[in-house]
Structure 1
Amino acid sequence: MLELVSVYLDDMDPNWHKEEEATLTDILILMTHGRVHYMLNGETLTVEKGDLLLIRKGVMRAGENAQEGAHQKYSVHFHLNERGHELFADAGTHLRLKARSYDYMKQRFAILTQQWFGQRMYADVICTGIAHELLGGFLQETVESRFTSVKLRLMSEVQNYIAAHYREPIRIEELAQLVDRAPNYVTQSFKEVTGLTPISYMHQVRVHAARDLILNTRMTIREVSDFLGYSDQAHFNRVFKKMMGYPPSSLIREVQRRS
């Protein structure tokens, strides 16, 4: 999705400022202290602690410390490939949001910076991986920013419950009782947040568990089907093929080739 170009830590420089010029890469910034005033294509934008800011390549950018003094921020500079441009097609010149997972994002930016400047063996592989993770996290946060914290918390409870009980029969009414909401609310909200209905999510968890069991145990497909709560193996086969694009029997052939 991206080619990593550089990583920076601006660390409490009282004289920090940036003359106006076009950005040569896409930039993802996390503010960790203070405030910065940016001018982006003529638009004034103030960024403060906890903000994530994506600035697109080619944007005319200038910046300076806010009046109260110096700031601290991490930034990662990168080129997007075709897939990346598709994902950020609606971002415009820039995109700012308040990081919901601020502490985690700060930790990952810090590790990225340590690896980048430490230049230990395979640091380039680690840095590229973390940069992808940060950009993926930013994309998730842009989606989740559309929902209230209450809805996200309730749907997280539903998700965790399904992950813990996926081998059991799960009914929408049961999930609705779990979060004290109407069944229609749970179905619609879960799909808004995850892109799947609760039942489709349950099948997805089951299918990934099935793949692991077939590849790494001596269980037959029927035994896996029964273990995961499917009373009908034919139904399990249909669900598996629909989600994975191939039948579970093809995994058996892969196991046989290994042995």
Structure 2
Amino acid sequence: MLELISAYFDNMDPNWYKDEACTPHHMFILMTRGNAVYRLNGIEIPLSKGDLLFIPKGTLRAARNSPEGPHQKYSAQFEVPNFARFPIAAEHSGRTFRSTQYEYIKQRFMLLNQQWFGRLPHYKMICEGMLMELIGCLAREAKEERFHSIKLRLMKEVRQYILAHYREAIRIEQLAKLIDRAPNYVTQTFKEVFGATPITYLHQVRIQAARDLILNTHMTMGEISEYLGYSDQAYFNRMFRRIMGHPPTRIVE
């Protein structure tokens, strides 16, 4: 059973660095902005936005901002019995890799940190569940080679269309026509490959965009709702709460 030891959010600290030391716990890192350089057992590993990194317990670790400037990242330290048999440990320990579900991984890390620092009842159990989910999703993704290359190509085409048109009304029939497949095939296969149905993924992308707009613009909730394709603000509020775990107004409180 995984035990979460700590969670961190490093946010553009220009003086950030870590002296070389032995890593006391297993670490999982997601870079969300900027660049950093890690040195693991004497080997330098550059990190940039979208990179994920597993660092096994006992690794000699040092880190610093890149010469280009500071960075932003989420990280979690955890313990788990028999790490060698833990999902994706052998394949990804000590090297960077990327997920096809970056926005979802980022969202889950953000929620994990909110729960960790909020310290509400049962927060630790919730956080450990989120971290297990993240690692499980990535373990599944690491097995993508079992999917036929045509299936992967088609689903990536669907995902790219959603990312390019997420503000528009998108129907399953529309996606099915895009790749010349049946609607049921699109729904089931997309979920098999990416862990969510196309419509669920569409809402995840929209709500992550909503969060960024709330934090970085002066748009009202109604304007954001309409901008992202929600004609009904009440529906937008429900989707935001369902995906983020709290109403959009909490971000600006």
TM-score strictly above 0.5: yes
1:58-77 aligned within 5 A: 58-77=58-77
Deviation of 1:87 (Å)? 3.1
Task: Supply the distance in 2 between the matched residues of 1:144 and 1:42 (Cα, whole angstroms).
Answer: 31
Paired residue secondary structure (2:10): strand
Deviation of 1:79 (Å)? 0.7
Cα distance change of structure 1 residues 92 and 105 upon mapping to structure 2, 3 Å threshold: closer
Aligned to 1:3: 3
Task: Supply the distance in 2 between the matched residues of 1:152 and 1:56 (Cα, whole angstroms).
Answer: 30
Report the TM-score, using the length of structure 1 for normalisation.
0.56
Structure (1 or 2) with the larger CA radius of gyration: 1
1:94-105 aligned within 5 A: 94-105=94-105
Aligned to 2:38: 38
Paired residue secondary structure (1:87): coil
Task: Supply the distance in 1 between the matched residues of 2:71 and 2:139 (Cα, whole angstroms).
Answer: 25
Aligned to 2:177: none
Aligned to 2:14: 14
Task: Supply the distance in 2 between the matched residues of 1:38 and 1:140 (Cα, whole angstroms).
Answer: 26
Alignment deviations for residues 132-155 of structure 1 (CA, whole Å, 9 cap, x no partner): 111112222333379798542437
Task: Supply the distance in 1 between the matched residues of 2:154 and 2:83 (Cα, whole angstroms).
Answer: 32
Moved over 6 A (4+): 145-149
Aligned to 1:55: 55
Paired residue secondary structure (2:91): coil
Cα distance change of structure 1 residues 77 and 148 upon mapping to structure 2, 3 Å threshold: farther
1:161-200 aligned within 5 A: 178=181
CA contact (8 A) 1:3 1:81 kept: no
Aligned to 2:112: 112
Alignment deviations for residues 40-90 of structure 1 (CA, whole Å, 9 cap, x no partner): 111111010001111111111101001111100000110112377343452
Task: Supply the distance in 2 between the matched residues of 1:124 and 1:30 (Cα, whole angstroms).
Answer: 20
Aligned to 1:79: 79
Alignment deviations for residues 152-173 of structure 1 (CA, whole Å, 9 cap, x no partner): 243789xxxxxx9xxxxxxxxx
Alignment deviations for residues 155-195 of structure 1 (CA, whole Å, 9 cap, x no partner): 789xxxxxx9xxxxxxxxxxxx949xxxxxxxxxx9xx98x
Report the TM-score, using the length of structure 2 for normalisation.
0.57
Aligned to 1:90: 90
CA contact (8 A) 1:16 1:70 kept: yes
1:132 aligns with 2:127: no
Amino acid at match of 2:63: G
Pairwise CA RMSD: 3.0
Alignment deviations for residues 203-248 of structure 1 (CA, whole Å, 9 cap, x no partner): xxxxxxxxxxxxxxxxxxxxxxxxxxxxxxxxxxxxxxxxxxxxxx
Task: Supply the distance in 2 between the matched residues of 1:143 and 1:20 (Cα, whole angstroms).
Answer: 33
- Can you give the 5+ residue segments of structure 2 that lack an aligned partner in the other structure? 158-171, 173-179, 183-188, 194-253
Deviation of 1:125 (Å)? 1.7
Task: Supply the distance in 1 between the matched residues of 2:64 and 2:110 (Cα, whole angstroms).
Answer: 23
Percent identical among aligned pairs is: 45
- Can you give the 5+ residue segments of structure 1 that lack an aligned partner in the other structure? 158-163, 165-176, 180-189, 195-259
Paired residue secondary structure (2:90): coil
Number of positions where the alignment pairs a residue of Structure 1 with one of Structure 2: 164
Aligned to 1:28: 28
Paired residue secondary structure (2:9): strand
Task: Supply the distance in 2 between the matched residues of 1:89 and 1:48 (Cα, whole angstroms).
Answer: 21
Aligned to 1:123: 123
CA contact (8 A) 1:59 1:93 kept: no
CA contact (8 A) 1:56 1:92 kept: no
Task: Supply the distance in 1 between the matched residues of 2:77 and 2:10 (Cα, whole angstroms).
Answer: 13
